[in-house]
Amino acid sequence: MSLTILKGTVVSAPAPGRLEATENGYLVAEGGVIRGVFPVLPEQYAGAAVEDCGDDLIVQSLADLHLHAPQYPMLGMGMDLPLLDWLNTYTFPLEARFADPDYARTIYRRLAAELAENGTTRVCMFSSLHTDATLILMEELEKAGITGYVGKVNMDRNSLPGVLEETTEQSMSETLRWLEACGDFRLVKPMLTPRFTPSCSDELMAFLGKLAAERTLPVQSHLSENDKEIQWVRELHPDCKQYWETYAKYGLWNDRTVMAHCVWSDERERAAMRDAGVTAVHCADSNQNICSGVAPVRAMLREGLKVALGSDIAGGDQLHMFDVVASAIRASKARRILDGWETDFLTVAEGWYLGTSAGAAYFGEAPGFAPGNSLHALVLRDSGLPQPHPLTAAERLERAVYLRQKDAIRAVWSAGKKIFSRT
């Protein structure tokens, strides 16, 4: 059985708002499974090889629970447009290019490599509506050692006619073809992906709900991101009082469901999420870039919802999850101002928990470097930063989040295997 022993300053997030640090500690994993963090190496490992990381930080790798893979080439573009205009002007024409498998291979290989070197090892990811490109994306993520879920997007209405569109019959038959073709992947699994309610007919939503139940498949989509989007959903589904009900009535609303944004989710919608076990994914960068608003993350946490973070590229302009954590903290401070200073902002420890342990929880992991978890970790060097005084591990992590340094990530482990190293 393979044995991995890392020595350094081990920092993890075992609970919301709490960091646990072991100076000169040892993180031990056997067969890719964490055995524990120890201040002194247990006798049973005496004589075993130790990867000494010196004074570097050893921290959990990150989880990105909402990003659009085919939008990767358009990072930083169209940021002056609201959501629906942005989709029609930039997003849909770009996604149409993924009908070309060679183009898809080139883009997705680069994306997978960048995720690995940035320390993002778990994902919930949208592909495009193209089956072959979706399989290529899964292949490239698997090769890079990234774990998680990928979805072939379903969108049989309100697309871009003649550029990016599929019929209901095509959407259903291609979804089945995709599911049959991706059974051999070990690290990357399928996730049903109705783009959002306006993109999917009632017939298609019913089909996806039935498929989710029959095959116990997870589901990802968007919820209450933008006020015009919400009004559009009301017009399309006058029988539903709120956006979430358009998913629930088709069986797409349960503890396997991931919903991105939830910017305008009120108390009733949040209660529906909590009661069903739905995971809300906060995408602070995107929500500000496309002027959607500031999600009520503190209210979600206080009310007991499951909340994780997403980059939402390319509505979000940063793929690196350190930046996403920092953006979530900044957004919470804006929310505090908007709420008349009555809402507490997120601390760095809370933001780090949302970017690591909270995302890992969707994949069945316990918080922090808990024994029994799969080894997902990265080694972070911060010695290039000026030192105002001797820093605690928590202060070092805070600076690493806010002052992301080029080449600071020295090594990354995903699902027990080292997938990236920098000499």
Over residues 232-257, mean pLDDT: 98
Task: Grade residue 386 by pLDDT with cuts at 50, 70 and 90.
Answer: confident
Q: Give the chain's mean pLDDT.
A: 97
Is the per-residue pLDDT at 82 higher than 90? no
Q: Model-level pTM?
A: 0.97
Structure tokens at 252: 């797409």
pLDDT of residue 79: 87
pLDDT at 384: 87
What does the pLDDT average to over 337-357? 97
The pLDDT value recorded for residue 423 is 77
